C-alpha cells in the first residue's frame, strides 16, 4: 500500500517545480529525440555485428556533414550503443594543438580504468609507455619503463589490436575509438593514423577493434592527402532532415501529454528547413516564450512558434554579424550570388560565372565559406546557403 500524502510536507519551491527545457540548441548537445538517422546507425551496426560474429577488426567509418547537421550527437549516440554492447569506448575531439595519438591513448586509458577497474592494471602499464614518433607513418615508440633510452618501435595497429584482444579476454566485447572533428588533428598525427587505419582494414586482424571518425564533407580529401588511399574508407554523409523526420525531432521526447495546437508543428517544420540546429533553436525558444516550463502550460501555439522563429533568426544573425566583419570581399561576392539564388542552389561553375570570378578563386571562396558555416555544399557540387535566415541577412548587407 502506498503512503498517504503528508499534509505537513512543505510545498516545493517554484524553481524545483519548473520543467527543464528539453531542447538542446548548443553544439554537441543531445536533442530530446535523435530523428532521421536510422540508416546511418545501421551503416555502423552492420560492421559491428560482423566484428562481434567474426572477432575481426571492423573497417573504419567516417561520418561527414556540413556544420550543425548532427555529427557530434550521432557519434555520441553510437558511443552509447557501443557501451551497451559491452565495448570499451574512447572519445576524442581532435584539435590542431594536441597530439591525437596522445589524446586517444589517454582516453583509452581512462575508459579502461573506469570500466575494468581491478582487471585493468596490467593493460594500463603498457599503454603508459607508448609515444608517437614523428615522421614514421603508423609507427609508435614504446619506451621500456626502466631506462628511457631503451626504445622499441611498434605499430599503432598492432598495439591497439593487442589491447582490444586483451580487453576481450577480460570480458569486454572489444575497443571502439571515436574521433570527432578528425580533420583538425595535427598533420603528423594524421600521417601516423591514416596509414595505420588502412593497414588494419587490409590485414583483417583478429581483434575486436573499430574506429569511428567525423568531419566536414572535405574529410575524404583531407585524409587522402595524409595517407594515400584514404578514399577507400567508408564515408557516410548526413543530410538535412525530411519534413517527417523534422516533425519527429520537434515533437518526440517531450514530457508526457505535451501538445502542439493546430498549425504549430507545420509552422515549426516549415521554418527550420530540415536543419537540426534550427529545430533545436526554435524548439528551445518556443519552450521559453510559451512558459512551457510551467506544468499548467503544456502546449505550443502557432503564436509561440512565430515568436520562437524570430528569436532563432535573431540568434543566427548575431552569429553571422560577428563573422561578416572577417569575411573578405571575394567571399562576400560569392555569398551575394548564392543568397540571390533559390533553394536548389548553384553549381560551382554558376557561382564563378555569376560572381564574375575565375573558377579557382570562386572555388576556394566557396570552400572557406563552407568551412565557416555560411554555405552548404551538397555532394561537393551544389552550393546553397547553410542556414535559414542567412540569405536574408546577406541580402540586407549587400544593399
234, containing H or E segment: strand 234-237
| C-beta closer to ligand ATP: residue 88 or 94 | 94
Nearest to 209 by CA among 220, 197, 224: 197
The answer to whether 72 contacts Mg ion (rule: CB under 5 A) is yes
| C-beta closer to ligand ATP: residue 208 or 276 | 276
Torsion from C-alpha of 321, 327, 328, 332, nearest 10 degrees: -70
Can you say how many angstroms the Cα of residue 219 is from the centroid of all Cα atoms in its chain? 13
| C-beta closer to ligand ATP: residue 69 or 337 | 69
| C-beta closer to ligand ATP: residue 89 or 183 | 183
Listed ranges 5-13, 63-71, 191-199, 305-313: which one lies at the site for ligand ATP (CB under 6 A): 63-71
| C-beta closer to ligand ATP: residue 195 or 386 | 386
Among 60, 138, 276, 345, binds ligand ATP (CB under 6 A): 276
* SS3 state of residue 227: helix
Cell 571562396 found at: 365
Residues 15-54 that bind ligand ATP (CB under 6 A): 24-25, 27-31, 34-37
Can you say how many angstroms the Cα of residue 271 is from the centroid of all Cα atoms in its chain? 23
Q: Which three cell numbers stand for residue 82?
A: 557501443
**What region, left, alpha or beta, does residue 167 occupy, with left being phi > 0 and alpha being psi -120 to 50 degrees?**
alpha
Contact (CB, 8 A) for 254 and 369: no
The answer to whether 279 contacts ligand ATP (rule: CB under 6 A) is yes
Alpha carbon distance 148, 63 (integer Å):
39
Count, residues near Mg ion per rule CB under 5 A: 2
Taking the complex as a whole, how short is the minimal distance between the CB of residue 81 and ligand ATP, in angstroms?
A: 15
The answer to whether 183 contacts Mg ion (rule: CB under 5 A) is no
Listed ranges 6-14, 66-74, 144-152, 215-223: which one lies at the site for Mg ion (CB under 5 A): 66-74
Interaction pattern, residues 65-104, with ligand ATP; x per rule: CB under 6 A: x-xxxxxxx-------------------------------
| C-beta closer to ligand ATP: residue 35 or 160 | 35
Alpha carbon distance 108, 224 (integer Å):
26
Cell 549516440 found at: 77
Exposure of 328 by Cβ count < 10 A (0-12 exposed, 13-18 middle, 19+ buried)? exposed
| C-beta closer to ligand ATP: residue 234 or 248 | 248
Q: Shortest Cβ contact with ligand ATP: which residue?
A: 70
Alpha carbon distance 190, 132 (integer Å):
11
Exposure of 237 by Cβ count < 10 A (0-12 exposed, 13-18 middle, 19+ buried)? middle
Listed ranges 127-135, 198-206, 271-279, 298-306: which one lies at the site for ligand ATP (CB under 6 A): 271-279
Residue 227's binding partner, choosing from Mg ion, ligand ATP, none, with beta-carbon cut-off 5 to 8 A by kind? none
Residue 230's binding partner, choosing from ligand ATP, Mg ion, none, with beta-carbon cut-off 5 to 8 A by kind? none
Taking the complex as a whole, how short is the minimal distance between the CB of residue 374 and ligand ATP, in angstroms?
A: 13
Taking the complex as a whole, how short is the minimal distance between the CB of residue 144 and ligand ATP, in angstroms?
A: 40
Query: What contacts 326, CB < 8 A, 6 or more positions away?
Result: none
Tell me which DSSP letter residue 174 carries. E
Report the residue count for the chain. 399
| Neighbouring-strand partners of residue 234 | 61
| C-beta closer to ligand ATP: residue 341 or 371 | 371
Residues that bind ligand ATP (CB under 6 A): 24-25, 27-31, 34-37, 65, 67-73, 249, 276-277, 279-280
Residues that bind Mg ion (CB under 5 A): 71-72
Amino acid at each position: 500500500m502506498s503512503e498517504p500524502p503528508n499534509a505537513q510536507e512543505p510545498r516545493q519551491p517554484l524553481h524545483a517545480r519548473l520543467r527543464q527545457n528539453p531542447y538542446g540548441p548548443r553544439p554537441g548537445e543531445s536533442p530530446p529525440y535523435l530523428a532521421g538517422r536510422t540508416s546511418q546507425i545501421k551503416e555502423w551496426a552492420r560492421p559491428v555485428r560482423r566484428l562481434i560474429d567474426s572477432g575481426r577488426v571492423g573497417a573504419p567509418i567516417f561520418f561527414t556533414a556540413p556544420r550543425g547537421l548532427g555529427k557530434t550527437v550521432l557519434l555520441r549516440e553510437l558511443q552509447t550503443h557501443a557501451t551497451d554492447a559491452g565495448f570499451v569506448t574512447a572519445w576524442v575531439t581532435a584539435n590542431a594543438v594536441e597530439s591525437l595519438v596522445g589524446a586517444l591513448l589517454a582516453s583509452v586509458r581512462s575508459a579502461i580504468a573506469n570500466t575494468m577497474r581491478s582487471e585493468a592494471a596490467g593493460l594500463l602499464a603498457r599503454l603508459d609507455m607508448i609515444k608517437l614518433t614523428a615522421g614514421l607513418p603508423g609507427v609508435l615508440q614504446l619506451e621500456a619503463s626502466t631506462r628511457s633510452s631503451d626504445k622499441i618501435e611498434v605499430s599503432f595497429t598492432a598495439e591497439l589490436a593487442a589491447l582490444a584482444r586483451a580487453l576481450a579476454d577480460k570480458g569486454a566485447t572489444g575497443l571502439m575509438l571515436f574521433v570527432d572533428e578528425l580533420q583538425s588533428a595535427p598533420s603528423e598525427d594524421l600521417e601516423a593514423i591514416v596509414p595505420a587505419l588502412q593497414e588494419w582494414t587490409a590485414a583483417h586482424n583478429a581483434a575486436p577493434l573499430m574506429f569511428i571518425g567525423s568531419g566536414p564533407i572535405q574529410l575524404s580529401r583531407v585524409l587522402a592527402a595524409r595517407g594515400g588511399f584514404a578514399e577507400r574508407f567508408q564515408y557516410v554523409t548526413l543530410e538535412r532532415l525530411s519534413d517527417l523526420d523534422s516533425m519527429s525531432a520537434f515533437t518526440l521526447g517531450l514530457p508526457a501529454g505535451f501538445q502542439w495546437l493546430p498549425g504549430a508543428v507545420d509552422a515549426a517544420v516549415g521554418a527550420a528547413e530540415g536543419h537540426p540546429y534550427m529545430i533545436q533553436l526554435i524548439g528551445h525558444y518556443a519552450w521559453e516564450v510559451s512558459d512551457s516550463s510551467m506544468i499548467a502550460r503544456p502546449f505550443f501555439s502557432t503564436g509561440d512558434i512565430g515568436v520562437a522563429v524570430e528569436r532563432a533568426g535573431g540568434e543566427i544573425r548575431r552569429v553571422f554579424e560577428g563573422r561578416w566583419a572577417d569575411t573578405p570581399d571575394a567571399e562576400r561576392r560569392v555569398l551575394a550570388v548564392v543568397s540571390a539564388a533559390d533553394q536548389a542552389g548553384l553549381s560551382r561553375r554558376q557561382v564563378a560565372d555569376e560572381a564574375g570570378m575565375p573558377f579557382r578563386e570562386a572555388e576556394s571562396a566557396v570552400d572557406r565559406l563552407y568551412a565557416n558555416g555560411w554555405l552548404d555544399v551538397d555532394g561537393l557540387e551544389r552550393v546553397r546557403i547553410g542556414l535559414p535566415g542567412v540569405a536574408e541577412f546577406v541580402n540586407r548587407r549587400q544593399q
